[in-house]
A = this chain, B = another copy of it.
């Protein structure tokens, strides 16, 4: 089996520079390029777009999202 098994936080680290979707507990989504992430899931997002029920609701540029608000992180490309 060539595919190694990564722990959740290591998998997120590996996805740095990829496009991600950060879904919050409040159901709002932030989409953009992940610049970095730490073990608490604090995440830097570039060209961040806010989506509310799949409708673009705001553009934020570069934001740092506090990890405790995160429901899940989806990586657009395989990771």
Contacts and interface: CB of A to CB of B under 8 A. Distances in A.
Contact of A8 (B8, B38, B72, B73): B38
Contact of A66 (B30, B48, B70): B70
Interface residues of A, number: 39
Given A6-B36, A68-B68, A62 B42 contact: no
A60 B74 contact: yes
Interface in A36-79: 36-38, 41-44, 48, 60-75, 78-79
Q: Sorted from nearest, which 6 A-B pairs have the closest CB atoms? A: A8-B42, A65-B72, A63-B72, A63-B74, A64-B73, A66-B70
Given A6-B44, A61-B74, 4 more contacts: A9-B38, A62-B78, A64-B72, A69-B72
